[in-house]
Amino acid sequence: MSESAAKRGWIVGLTGASGAAYGVRLVERLLDMAYPVHLLITDAGWRVLKEELDWDAAKRAATIETKFAGRNARATYYPIQDIGAAVASGTFRVNGMVVAPCSMGTLAAIAHGLSDNLLERAADVTLKEGRKLVLVPRETPLHAIHLENMLKLARMGVSIVPASPGLYHRAQTVEELVDFMVGKTLDSMGIDHELYRRWGEGSPHDEAE
Q: Is 63 annotated as a binding residue?
A: no
Whether the Cβ atoms of residue 122 and residue 37 lie closer than 8 Å to each other: no
pTM for this predicted structure: 0.92
Do the Cβ atoms of 110 and 119 come closer than 8 Å? no
pLDDT averages per 10-residue partition of the chain, 209 residues = 72 98 98 97 98 96 96 97 96 97 98 97 98 98 98 98 91 94 96 85 53
- The pLDDT value recorded for residue 8 is 87
Q: Is 47 annotated as a binding residue?
A: no
- Annotated binding residue at 103? yes
| Count of domains for the chain | 1
Q: State yes or no: 184 annotated in a binding site.
A: yes
Q: What is the pLDDT of residue 195?
A: 84
Structure confidence at residue 5 (pLDDT):
63
Q: What is the pLDDT of residue 197?
A: 78
159 assigned ligand-binding residue: no
Q: For residue 16, say whether it is annotated as part of any ligand binding site.
A: yes
Residue 18 annotated as part of some ligand binding site: yes
So what's the pLDDT on residue 208? 44
User: Is 150 marked within a binding site?
Assistant: no
Tell me the residue range of the domain where 132 lies. Answer: 3-208
CATH code at position 125? 3.40.50.1950
The reply, when asked if residue 105 is annotated as ligand binding, is yes
Instruction: Flag whether 61 is marked binding.
Output: no
Q: Is 203 annotated as a binding residue?
A: no
Q: Are strands 159-160 and 10-14 parallel, antiparallel or unpaired?
A: unpaired
